[in-house]
Structure 1
């Protein structure tokens, strides 16, 4: 027992001596740690040691010529067009919508549609038919007849105004001026000088030097009045044969004592027979187209 206690005391004393001597031995045997070279040559150290440089003077930009290709900082070439060129898609769509919005007015007032439709309506009334053919059929026939009559004029307007504008060869003002010339010439040929003088006097404008110098604000209403006048004259000529048939049928019914029978009911078959045998629609359309030749 005493021997075990003596061994424990000796071991504890040796442990204490070992703990006291270990820090000193470690300090004596430790080598100094070298500074890494990467730290000495780090980017931060280079930035701190670098001296500031003088800024370079700015370079004045040069204006590119029309159609010249310029090169950007990243090496990509950019084509710059100054003036001219084709109109943008948005501008083309805007012009198309504007034309479509005024298309009914242009169709009614600047083409042969008004005269054709009025003459066809008078022909229907002269026959004594109020709803046959219907208005939709007459309007469709008048529309296609107007396209047939105005075909050469529309082609000239497209060639002189619309296509050069879409290709970028003419500006908006120049395209409108050149494109309206064929339409102006057509209206001048179909307009009476008296109508032009009437609207010139009413508007208080000076007398134009020639027909080509008449403004459109004066030419268009004068053209419409001339078309209505010509349509009324054709309608008067169409009414005469049908009026004769009405008078003959009415006199025959009076002589027979059939005063209660409406003359219009009896005259209608004779009117239709005369109109069909004489090829009335063909004669009317031929006369209408001939007035524009």
Structure 2
């Protein structure tokens, strides 16, 4: 028995030694990361451009939310779900996905203009990076200025004590973006208020009926929910909501 154990141990040691030899013959790739100085300014400029690009990509969600129609669309869709008193249907993923595709649909002319006047000339070497950024901001400025209330824009201009711009191109993005955001929020809440009214009437009728019947312990939401869904389906609610949102950006 002892001899068998010794033989097994000898085989294990031999296999381990053989595996080590093969591993040494194959070799394991190594990773070496060094930060060195460079005498070529072009290498440094390229590194800075990559860093700026990563910074812009990290800010992409904020740009998407605040400089496009995404804010109004997603807020209105959330109002629809709350008005129907269904907190989890449709799910958040569905609402955000629908809002993203509607945003892409509405912003297609603006994005096409950015591609034509900024991105393609920059890729062709006709514009520098700074010039391309300035050209790319102009279509977004025209889009946001078209849907920004003058009162909201003046709020930020007066706070900065800035002169009134003569053209849309002269409005700085640091002023136009927050003004556009609060204008979109007000419009979204106005649409949400109009959406709530018919469903609120259904809740009042159901609550009054239950109280008159002495059924005060029965939650009115349980009874009114099927009627809300029925009303929303009969009037083709999703079509009307999407249609009103698209018409608001014509």
CA-atom RMSD in angstroms: 1.6
CA-to-aligned-CA distance 1:83-102 (integer Å, 9 cap, x gap): xxxxx986775554333222
Instruction: For 2:141 and 2:163, locate their aligned partners in 1 and report how far apart those are by CA, in whole Å.
Output: 19
Please name the residue that 2:228 is paired with: 271
Normalised by the length of structure 2, the TM-score is 0.78
**Does structure 1 residue 184 correspond to structure 2 residue 103?**
no
**Partner residue of 1:28?**
none
Secondary structure of the corresponding residue to residue 203 of structure 2: helix
Aligned counterpart for 2:218 among listed residues 261, 267, 287 = 261
Q: CA deviation at 1:212?
A: 3.2
TM-score normalised by the chain length of structure 1: 0.67
What is the deviation of 1:206? 2.3
Higher helix proportion, which one?
2
For the pair 1:202 / 2:152, whether they are aligned, the reply is no
Cα distance, 1:207 vs structure 2 = 2.5
Q: Is 1:211 matched up with 2:205?
A: no
- Determine the C-alpha separation between the residues in 1 that align with 2:144 and 2:93: 26
SS of 2:59 mapped into structure 1: helix
Structure 2 residue runs of 5 or longer lacking an equivalent are 1-44
How is 1:104-143 mapped onto 2 (pairs within 5 angstroms)? 104-143=61-100
2:179 is equivalent to residue 222 of structure 1: yes
State the alpha-carbon separation in 1 of the partners of residues 86 and 179 from structure 2. 32
With over 3 angstroms needed to count, the CA separation of the structure-2 counterparts of 1:210 and 1:170, relative to structure 1, is closer
Listed as ranges, the gaps of 5+ residues in structure 1 are 1-87
Change in CA separation of 1:289 and 1:280 when aligned onto 2, cut-off 3 Å: same
Q: 2:114 aligns with which of 154, 157, 166?
A: 157
Say yes or no: does 1:287 pair with 2:238: no
- Note closer, same or farther for the CA distance 1:221–1:186 as it changes in structure 2 (3 Å cut): same
Q: Larger deviation: 203-212 or 112-121?
A: 203-212
User: More relative contact order in 1 or in 2 (CA 8 Å, sep 6+)?
Assistant: 2
Q: What's the CA shift for 1:211?
A: 3.5
Q: In the alignment, what sits opposite 1:100? A: 57
Q: How far apart, in 2, do the equivalents of 1:186 and 1:146 lie?
A: 13
Query: Residue 148 in 1 paired to residue 124 in 2?
Result: no
Shift of the alpha carbon at 1:205?
1.8
Whether the aligned pair in 1 keeps the contact of 2:141 and 2:168 (CA below 8 Å) is no
Tell me the residue number matched to 2:14.
Answer: none
* Count of residue correspondences: 206
Instruction: Report the CA distance between 1:174 and its aligned residue.
Output: 1.6
3-state SS in 2 of match to 1:150: helix
Q: Which has the larger radius of gyration?
A: 1
